[in-house]
């Protein structure tokens, strides 16, 4: 099996991730932050260390790390909370995932917000001049940008967009599901209020653990309520962080895997992981370029990309190409990849694209198998 | 370490749970239900099998199993959804957890609901006569009952209460966080609309995976929005189940652990697990009875209990007793256990109780260590 679906979840994980999950959960799988006893404390210490590792990776020692089960829930809590607190004009990139657009659609439908698309030029450049003009026209309350598109991999100039947004007093949120641990971003910047991460994607951790980093002064109203093992008599959610947004039992097993993954990233270095993934992306682009029936979409030499490449195959509808690659033992992701807005922007809606995504571990064997698959498709066409 | 905090999370887990989590995630940790490829399908098959195992355990083949990251989120989705759909008069047991009461408090504060407590007599009997009278007085729209109290372990006669509630047309929700896999309940009954389970408690699975079972005709409006790998072009959440309520990447690693746990329960049988836990509960009660400074609270010989026992120690405030037991190497849970309402009912608010909870695996060694701890406390008092 050649695995080219790393944008869905990185696979395999570094060996230390599997190992630590198993060993930690066997030896210290008690309920963290609830009991007082030693087992619970050592889980608590591991969780605290994991928060520090995230702060270090994202250069944000003064920001608060909040754990959530997945990036979708993290995005919902922030987006719904900020809207309930009064944000009306919401600007998003044209590449947002359904976790963002479906949530916004709910509020747009009931008339409480208006969604605007940040201007991106046809050659895929965020047009800061025109964005400034947009902001002058309708003042932004809330600006949400995917750091990298999960469809074409394009990296957004988040710092510049948020610099501008902050001049208008907007709340800012960057979705780093496809970039945390891969694209070095200074989340410590005062222009970044919220940054969401997905543990099981570019952070190389397991499923079931994600979260966000926040400016502790930007508390919003809670959307999900429950036990926090803290101020239990209070029937409102506590005001303190992280408890205000961490409801229910934390995924200790998942956090122990993420802990190991973060240490692996630190040891390997984000630069080396980036370089390696870029190398694999170039290898992929070179291979795809050999096949005249392949059309790469949303790719421009002047822009920066993570290791995600979307293509169309002449004469094959993208949403039905999955089984063909599957027969060839190549794992890809076809269709809309939960991001119909992005496909509308690049002109591939509604059948979508065939998406390949590499990671640090993508091997020559993977590329050989992909080559065989493409040779086979060429013959069949 | 003597572990008496199984109501927080069962520990240890059956060996097969650790083993399957590790092996499955190593060999098939791709993103289930998103890609078409073989790895993803085998994760998909494992997830489908896990749903069947839950249906079988809870005797509800016609009900839909929905996975959520934890029971708190499961409860929030259902409770918020049913209230947003118009439920006004909500009846709850006096033993509900903050996952229920804090959620309801949010809506009570803004005036959209009224919360009523189901009548329970001083000797801890659900008073069906008086409950009928309550329902006659104010018609119930929504009835929520913890199948077993997480503070004193008391089991509620859910079938009878819901039988009555259904005569008034109420929506019914049973919180089985402390009972699924332990107390045999026929969730297939038409009087039960929703049943919430917590994977890492009495189901002996890992943290990070829980969910609920629902009558598929009782769809409520979504509360969290996001990608479902399904009908991606649709900006509303899909109407189909389980997709409507399963947003974002499922915790494959967690589900593989739960899968093994459910097979372990099936093999061991729920009867044997119940008998064993009752045996350990009796052993615990017998031991505690030897110490005159121990006062067991909320215990009545005529009622049924799971393996949870709350006590007070003369002259020691419960919320400060944790460190004492910790020094003695005994893991217990002190204070309010995220259920202040229950403590108000049994008269132990606000300092709470010292809670012991046993499980199938509680050993003579655990009891020996607890005995030593109690001997030490007796000396110190």
Pairing label, strands A89-92, A114-117: parallel
Give the number of residues written for chain A. Answer: 381
CA B196 to chain centre: 7
Q: Is the pLDDT of residue A89 over 60?
A: yes
Same domain, A175 and A284: no
Instruction: Output phi, psi for B16, to 5 deg.
Output: -60, -25
Average pLDDT score over residue span B303-325: 92
Residues of A in contact with B212 (CB under 8 A): none
Q: Label residues A332-348 b or e (16+ Cβ within 10 Å = b).
A: bbbbbbbbbbbbebbeb
- In percent, the amount of chain B with pLDDT more than 70 equals 97
Q: Give the pair of three-digit tokens for residue B375.
A: 């001997």
CA A183 to chain centre: 11
pLDDT of residue B1: 86
pLDDT of residue B352: 96
pLDDT of residue A381: 81
Positive or negative: CA dihedral A74, A80, A83, A85: negative
Q: Is the pLDDT of residue B34 over 70?
A: no
pLDDT of residue B320: 79
Please tell me the distance from the alpha carbon of residue B46 to that of residue A102, in angstroms, as a whole number: 28
C-beta neighbour count of A285 within 10 angstroms: 14
Q: What's the burial of B296, exposed, middle or buried (CB within 10 Å: 0-12/13-18/19+)?
A: middle
Please tell me the distance from the alpha carbon of residue B100 to that of residue B5, in angstroms, as a whole number: 21
Nearest CA in chain B to A228: B338
Same domain, A182 and A116: yes
Average pLDDT score over residue span B140-164: 98
Note whether A99 contacts B253, CB cutoff 8 Å.
no
Same domain, B311 and B228: no
Residues of B in contact with A224 (CB under 8 A): 72-73, 76, 103, 224
Q: Which of A25-29, A77-81, B54-58, B77-81 is the least confident region? A: A25-29
Nearest CA in chain B to A327: B37
- In percent, the amount of chain A with pLDDT more than 90 equals 89
Residues of B in contact with A335 (CB under 8 A): 232
List the single residue in A233, A322, A336 with the smallest CB-CB distance to B233.
A336
User: Which of A84, A210, A227, A316 to mutate: most B Cβ within 10 Å?
Assistant: A227
| pLDDT range class, residue A320, cuts 50, 70, 90 | confident
Please tell me the distance from the alpha carbon of residue A141 to that of residue A109, in angstroms, as a whole number: 18
Q: Give the pair of three-digit tokens for residue A307.
A: 């290791």
pLDDT of residue B42: 87
Q: Is the pLDDT of residue B33 over 60?
A: no
pLDDT of residue B40: 66
Whether B172 contacts B87, CB under 8 Å:
no
Closest among B291, B316, B309, B288 to B355, alpha carbons compared: B309
Q: Quickly list H helices, B295-380.
A: 322-327, 340-346, 364-380
3-state secondary structure of A128: helix
Note whether B237 contacts A102, CB cutoff 8 Å.
yes
Q: Please name the residues in contact with A211: beta carbons below 8 A apart, sequence gap of 6 or more.
A: A54, A65, A66, A67, A68, A74, A196, A197, A199
Q: Is A27 on the interface with B (CB under 8 A)?
A: no
What are the C-alpha distances in Å from A245 to residues A73, A93, B75, B272?
11, 26, 16, 39
Same domain, B143 and B215: yes
Q: Please name the residues in contact with B34: beta carbons below 8 A apart, sequence gap of 6 or more.
A: A5, A8, A333, A338, B40, B229, B249
Task: Give me the numbers of helices (H) and strands (E) for chain B, helices first please.
Answer: 11, 13
Note whether B208 contacts A253, CB cutoff 8 Å.
yes
Please tell me the distance from the alpha carbon of residue B204 to that of residue B181, in angstroms, as a whole number: 8
Same domain, A162 and A263: yes
pLDDT of residue B99: 97
Q: Give the pair of three-digit tokens for residue A329.
A: 């033992």
**Biggest CA-to-CA distance, chain B:** 69
**pLDDT per residue as tens digits for the range B179-234:** 999 999 999 999 999 999 999 999 999 999 999 999 999 999 999 999 988 888 99
A residues 206..245 contacting B (CB < 8 A): 206-209, 222-229, 232-233, 235-237
Closest approach of A229 to chain B, Cα-based (Å): 6
List the single residue in B8, B226, B325 with the smallest CB-CB distance to A72.
B226
Same domain, A264 and A179: yes
User: Which of A225, A257, A322, A339 to mutate: most B Cβ within 10 Å?
Assistant: A225
Note whether B30 contacts A331, CB cutoff 8 Å.
yes
Instruction: Output phi, psi for B309, to 5 deg.
Output: -135, 125
Average pLDDT score over residue span B86-106: 98
Whether A187 contacts A242, CB under 8 Å:
no
A residues 295..314 contacting B (CB < 8 A): none
List the single residue in A26, A37, A106 with the smallest CB-CB distance to B225.
A106
pLDDT of residue A39: 66
Instruction: State the DSSP code for A41.
Output: H
Same domain, A274 and A264: no
Same domain, B6 and B19: no
Q: What angle, 0 to 180 degrees and rounded to 10, lies between the N-to-C axes of helices B252-268 and B270-289?
A: 80
What are the C-alpha distances in Å from A299 to residues A189, A280, B208, B300, B351?
29, 16, 37, 71, 62
Closest approach of A167 to chain B, Cα-based (Å): 30
Whether B377 contacts B324, CB under 8 Å:
yes
Positive or negative: CA dihedral A174, A180, A183, A184: positive
Dihedral (Cα; A43, A48, A50, A53), 10-degree rounding: -150
Please tell me the distance from the alpha carbon of residue B340 to that of residue A190, in angstroms, as a whole number: 39
Note whether A251 contacts B248, CB cutoff 8 Å.
no
For chain B, the domain total comes to 2
pLDDT of residue A58: 98
Please tell me the distance from the alpha carbon of residue B305 to that of residue B269, in angstroms, as a whole number: 19
Average pLDDT score over residue span A190-209: 98
Same domain, A298 and A213: no
User: Which of A46, A199, A208, A334 to mutate: most B Cβ within 10 Å?
Assistant: A208
Q: Please name the residues in contact with A329: beta carbons below 8 A apart, sequence gap of 6 or more.
A: A1, A2, A369, A373, B38
pLDDT of residue A31: 65
Query: Structural domain of residue B369, as residue ranges?
Result: 2-11+270-380
pLDDT of residue A321: 87
Which of A245, A268, A291 is the last residue in one of the domains? Answer: A268
Instruction: Output phi, psi for B172, to 5 deg.
Output: -120, 140
Please tell me the distance from the alpha carbon of residue A254 to that of residue B21, in angstroms, as a whole number: 11
Q: Is the pLDDT of residue A76 over 70?
A: yes
Average pLDDT in chain B:
95
Which of A244, A268, A292 is the last residue in one of the domains? Answer: A268
Pairing label, strands A210-214, A194-198: antiparallel
Q: Which of A62-66, B24-28, B333-337 is the least confident region? A: B24-28
Residues of A in contact with B325 (CB under 8 A): 36-37
Which of A268, A298, A326 is the last residue in one of the domains? Answer: A268
Whether B370 contacts B330, CB under 8 Å:
yes
Note whether B30 contacts A37, CB cutoff 8 Å.
no
3-state secondary structure of A284: helix
Beta-bridge mates of residue A305 = A154
Average pLDDT score over residue span A47-61: 98
Nearest CA in chain A to B208: A251
Q: Please name the residues in contact with B355: beta carbons below 8 A apart, sequence gap of 6 or more.
A: B5, B7, B151, B308, B309, B310, B311, B332, B333, B334, B337
- In percent, the amount of chain A with pLDDT more than 70 equals 97
Does the bond joining B350 to the residue before it have cis omega, within 30 degrees of 0?
Answer: yes
B residues 345..374 contacting A (CB < 8 A): 349-350
**pLDDT per residue as tens digits for the range B347-376:** 999 999 999 999 999 999 999 999 999 999
Positive or negative: CA dihedral A179, A184, A185, A188: positive
| pLDDT range class, residue A212, cuts 50, 70, 90 | very high
Note whether A5 contacts B37, CB cutoff 8 Å.
yes
Residues of A in contact with B97 (CB under 8 A): 226-227
Q: Is the pLDDT of residue B165 over 90?
A: yes
Closest among B298, B356, B306 to B120, alpha carbons compared: B298
Instruction: State the DSSP code for A214.
Output: E
ipTM of the complex in this document: 0.95
Nearest CA in chain B to A334: B35
Please tell me the distance from the alpha carbon of residue B211 to that of residue B71, in angstroms, as a whole number: 6
CATH of the domain at A273: 3.90.1150.10
A residues 64..83 contacting B (CB < 8 A): 69-73, 75-76
CATH of the domain at A71: 3.40.640.10
Instruction: State the DSSP code for B129.
Output: H
Dihedral (Cα; B331, A49, B256, A18), 10-degree rounding: -120
Note whether A227 contacts B99, CB cutoff 8 Å.
yes
Q: Give the pair of three-digit tokens for residue A135.
A: 């902001």
Please tell me the distance from the alpha carbon of residue A222 to that of residue B362, in angstroms, as a whole number: 38
Same domain, B29 and B171: yes
pLDDT of residue A229: 83
Same domain, A255 and A281: no
pLDDT of residue B321: 87
What are the C-alpha distances in Å from A354 to residues A41, A344, B204?
46, 15, 40
C-beta neighbour count of A321 within 10 angstroms: 22
Average pLDDT score over residue span B141-156: 98
Closest approach of A296 to chain B, Cα-based (Å): 20
Note whether B207 contacts A101, CB cutoff 8 Å.
no
Same domain, B234 and B252: yes
Average pLDDT score over residue span A37-51: 85
């Amino acid at each position: 099996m050649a695995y080219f679906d790393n944008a869905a979840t990185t696979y395999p994980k570094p060996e230390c991730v599997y190992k630590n999950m198993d060993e930690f959960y066997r030896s210290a799988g008690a309920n963290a932050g609830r009991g007082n006893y030693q087992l619970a404390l050592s889980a608590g210490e591991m969780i605290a260390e994991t928060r520090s590792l995230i702060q270090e990776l994202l250069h944000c020692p003064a920001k608060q790390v909040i754990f959530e089960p997945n990036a979708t829930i993290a995005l919902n809590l922030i987006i719904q909370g900020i809207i309930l607190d009064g944000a009306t004009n919401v600007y998003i990139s044209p590449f947002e995932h359904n976790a963002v657009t479906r949530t916004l659609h709910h509020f747009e439908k009931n008339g409480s917000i208006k969604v605007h698309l940040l201007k991106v030029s046809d050659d895929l450049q965020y047009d800061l001049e025109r964005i400034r003009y947009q902001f002058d026209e309708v003042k932004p309350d809330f600006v949400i940008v995917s750091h990298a598109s999960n469809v074409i991999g394009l990296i957004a100039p988040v710092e510049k967009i948020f610099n501008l947004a902050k001049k208008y007093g907007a709340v800012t949120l960057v979705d780093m599901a496809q970039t945390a641990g891969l694209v070095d971003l200074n989340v410590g910047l005062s222009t970044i209020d919220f940054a969401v991460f997905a543990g099981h994607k570019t952070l190389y951790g397991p499923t079931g653990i994600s979260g966000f980093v926040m400016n502790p002064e930007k508390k919003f109203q809670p959307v999900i309520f429950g036990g926090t093992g803290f101020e239990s008599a209070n029937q409102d959610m506590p005001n303190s962080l992280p408890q205000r947004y961490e409801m229910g039992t934390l995924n200790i097993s998942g956090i122990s895997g993420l802990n190991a993954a973060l240490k692996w990233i630190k040891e390997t270095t984000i630069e080396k992981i980036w370089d390696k993934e870029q190398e694999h992306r170039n290898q992929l682009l070179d291979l795809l370029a050999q096949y005249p029936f392949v059309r790469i979409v949303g790719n421009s030499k002047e822009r920066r990309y993570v290791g995600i490449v979307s293509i169309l195959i002449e004469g094959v509808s993208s949403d039905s190409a999955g089984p063909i690659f599957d027969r060839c033992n190549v794992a890809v992701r076809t269709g809309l990849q939960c991001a119909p807005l992005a496909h509308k922007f690049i002109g591939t809606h509604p059948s979508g694209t065939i998406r390949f995504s590499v990671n640090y571990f993508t091997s020559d064997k993977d590329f050989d198998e992909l080559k065989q698959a493409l040779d086979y498709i060429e013959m069949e066409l």
